Structures are given as structure tokens and as C-alpha cells.
Amino acid sequence: MQQERIELIRPQMGTARTLTVRRYGKSGTGPKAYLQAALHADELPGVIALHHLEKLLKVAEENGDIKGEIVIVPFANPIGFTQYVDMKPLGRFDMRTGQNFNRHYPDLCKELIASVDGKLGQDGDANVEIARVELRRLIKEHRANAGPLTDLDDLRLTLAGLAIDADYVLDLHCDWQAALHIYTSDSSWPDVQDLSAQIGAEACLIAEESGANPFDETFSRPWVELRRVYGDKFPIPMATLSTTIELRGEQDVYDHLASQDAKNLFAFLQRRDVIAGDPGPLPEAKCTATPLAGVDRVTATHGGMIVFSVDAGQHVKAGQELGYVLDCETGEKTPFASRTDGFMYARVGGRLVVPGGLLCSVAGADVLPGREGLLLTAR
Ligand SMILES: [Zn+2]
């Protein structure tokens, strides 16, 4: 294992921040996997899962079993790690700009399409290499042309640069109170099926573009777009399987869960030939893919407190009461329900809600009317 500490831009006099990166195996010897946790800095189930995974990777490396390269960023957001308000960690949004740490990653698609023009041929693997050379260059160019970078820009470009040429990008997050679920590209289904089954995902939400450039789409969309423009003439595989894995809820930080998650990630890497050895039989899948545009984000019609009657991780029917919002000043009590039959994979953690505030998310099989644009937000 080689550990590197990348110095990030100093945001201010007398301060310093570094990004810890650990590498197992050797670059260029086989498939490359990139895993990171806590891009939303207070989402810790992924951090403990990687802690357990790295114990397995150390042994695998000692035994010479790592066939490719595995890059681990055990906590991806040193900016968010130090943000607290009123004793509470705030890791989802950058407090200086208000921006979500998992949005606004560079969109390289247009430049990539132009830069490979005239270079592609009939060998799919060669086409992947051609595109990856350009992607590495474009990330560097993006940095050089961006003008003065903020510490947040620097963090985003550094993370994107580490993952840009990976075959597998697994970005570990969690929801507030949730069943294990994953997000990925339409074009990565059914390729992602073995990962989804292996880790025991209970919902697999797919969208080609969910809006505002989350981290995972930086690595899937270039292939989607290359295939759209050049796919009729040249073989272009979906060379990067890029996913966001939501390891349940923010309170689900336990050794028994993390150790199981680590074993499952390890088995997936074995199945994909990044690590040698038998991954064992693939567990039976708990879900199939459903469209992200089929998720009903159930919201409150007025302020008050939320009283849930259904836990996250339950199948529900359209119109079924999932709980109610109670305004104790007016006595207004408003039950809420999903518009769709589906799987209630997540609900919010707080119990105070404002009008229009998110209550829970239900994954249905069919696209819902009006669900377009920014699919990862309630409205
Ligand atoms: Zn997150």
C-alpha cells in the first residue's frame, strides 16, 4: 500500500488541508477501481466500510492477489469535516458557497466528443484508451483554464482526477434513514446487476443524467455521450461502471454492517478481476432497476412535525398513509402518501418540517409525471 497526502489549496493564512489517498496494487497491470467515502462529510457508514475493506486489501496485497489497481480515498471531504453549527456536523453543503459537495463536477463530454473526432477505430479496447488519454488531459486542462481555484474547486478537480480513468468508481454515501440503495446510469444497467446483488441493494435507481453533475456522472456520462455520437460507427463500451452507493442511514455506523459491506465490495472486486480469488456464488438480487424519475419525493404541504407510521425499507401502496404532519398551533393534521406503489427506501432524519420540505422517497416502477430536471432534489 502506498499512502499519499495531497495538499489542497490553503483557504486562508495559517490553515492547511490534505486529502489522504491509499493505493493497492499497481497502475496499468489490470482493471482500476476507485472507492471513496464521506464526500458528504458527515456520512460515515462508507468510512467504516472502507476501514474494514482496507484490512482485507492489505492481506490481499501481501498475498499478491491484487491484479489491478485499487485507489481508496477513505474520507473525501476535508473541507466538510470541519464544518459545525451549533455542535452539529454539516457535511452536505459547503458553508461558504452553499453548494452541495456532490454536485458541479466537471462536465467533459462536449470537449471529449470533439477531441476524439477522427481518432476512433474498430477496436473497442483501443477506443477506450484513446478516450481515457483525452479525459486525463481534459481534467488537467480544466484545472489550468479555470482561473483562480477555490479550495472547493480544488477538492472537486483533485477527486475527479484520481477517478477519471478508473474502470469502477464506487462513491459511498448514506441517506438519513434508509435501506441500502444505489444510483447509476441507465446505460450501466444490467452491468451493475452483480454489484447490486452482491451488496444487497434494495433499490437501484437509474438515470442517464440526474442534474447538476454529481460525482458519479463525471465518469459515466462521457461514455454515454461518446456512444450516442459515435456508437453507430465505432464499438465503444460503457468503460466505467460508476455508482453512488447509499449505505443505509447516517446512524448505521456499526462494525457488523461495515464488515459485511467490506466483504461484499471485496467479492465484487474479485468477480471483476481486480482481485484474484473466488468471490463465491452471487447472492440473489433483492431488487431490479427502477427509474430515478419514478421516485416520488413526498413533501409536506405545511409546516409542523412529522409523525411517521412506516419505517424506511418497506414496500408501500399508492395512497397508503405513511405518516402525518401535525401543526400543534392550528391543530392541522395532514396525512401524507406516495403517488406510486413502490419501495420507501428513505425518509428524512429530522422531525421538524417546513412547507414543501421532503418527508420520504418511494421508488416506483414507472416514470412519474413532472419528474424531470433535477432528479436528486424534491422540487
Ligand atoms: Zn451523500
Look up residue 364 and give its three cell numbers: 416506483
Q: How far is the CA of 92 from the centre of ligand 1 (A)?
A: 7
Distance from Cα 46 to the centre of ligand 1, integer Å: 10
Expressed in angstroms and rounded, the spacing between residue 182 Cα and the centre of ligand 1 is 11
Residue with the three cell numbers 456520462: 221
**Letter string b/e over residues 98-133, b meaning 16 or more CB atoms within 10 A of that residue's CB:** eebbbbbbbbbbebbbebbeeebeeeeeebbebbbe
Going from the Cα of 122 to the center of ligand 1, the distance in angstroms, rounded, reads: 39
| CA 69 to ligand 1 center in whole angstroms | 25
Distance 101 CA to ligand 1 centre (A): 8
- Distance between Cα 55 and ligand 1 center (Å): 24
| Range(s) within the chain of domains with CATH label 2.40.50.100 | 292-363
Q: Please tell me the distance between residue 62's alpha carbon and the centre of ligand 1 in angstroms.
A: 33
Q: Phi and psi for 346 in degrees, rounded to 5?
A: -155, 150
| Cα(91) to centroid(ligand 1), Å | 9
Nearest to 247 by CA among 20, 54, 42, 43: 43
pLDDT at 209: 87
CA 329 to ligand 1 center in whole angstroms: 34
Phi, psi torsion values for 197, nearest 5 degrees = -70, -40
> What are the strands, taking DSSP E only, across 14-163?
17-25, 32-37, 69-73, 84-85, 88-89
- Condensed to tens digits (0 to 9), the pLDDT of residues 298-324 reads 999 999 999 999 999 999 999 999 999
Give, rounded to a whole angstrom, the gap between the first and last alpha carbons of the chain: 44
Q: Are 40 and 91 in contact (CB under 8 A)?
A: yes
For residue 161, count other CB atoms closer than 10 A to its CB. 17
CA of 141 to the centre of ligand 1 (A): 28
Tell me how far the alpha carbon of residue 43 lies from the centroid of ligand 1, in angstroms.
6
Please state which architecture CATH assigns to domain 2-287.
3-Layer(aba) Sandwich (3.40)
* Distance between Cα 97 and ligand 1 center (Å): 18
pLDDT tens readout for residues 88-132: 999 999 999 999 999 999 999 999 999 999 999 999 999 999 999
What confidence tens digit (pLDDT) does each residue in 139-157 have? 999 999 999 999 999 999 9
Q: Where in the chain is the domain with CATH 3.40.630.10?
A: 2-287
Asked if 132 contacts 27 with a C-beta cutoff of 8 angstroms, the reply is: no
pLDDT for residue 378: 53
* Residues flanking ion ligand 1, Cβ below 5 Å: 40, 43, 173
CA 350–ligand 1 middle distance (angstroms): 16
Task: Please name which of 285, 313, 296, 291 lies closest in space to residue 365, comparing C-alpha atoms.
Answer: 291
pLDDT at site 371: 73
* Pairing, β 241-249 against β 289-291: unpaired
pLDDT of 370 reads: 81
Gap from CA of 172 to ligand 1 centroid (Å): 8
CA of 192 to the centre of ligand 1 (A): 20
- State which CATH number among 1.10.3720.10, 3.40.605.10, 2.40.50.100, 3.40.50.20 fits the domain covering 292-363: 2.40.50.100
> What residues have CB less than 8 Å from 253, skipping those under 6 apart?
44, 45, 48
Q: How far apart are the CA of 353 and the centre of ligand 1, in A?
A: 20
**How high is the pLDDT of residue 68?**
95
User: What's the number of CA atoms in the CB half-sphere (13 Å) around residue 72?
Assistant: 24
Which regions in the chain score pLDDT beneath 50? 379
C-alpha cell at 10: 490553503
Cα 247 to averaged position of ligand 1 atoms, centre (Å): 10
CA of 169 to the centre of ligand 1 (A): 15
- Distant-in-sequence, close-in-space partners of 257: CB < 8 Å, separation ≥ 6: 45, 49, 247, 248
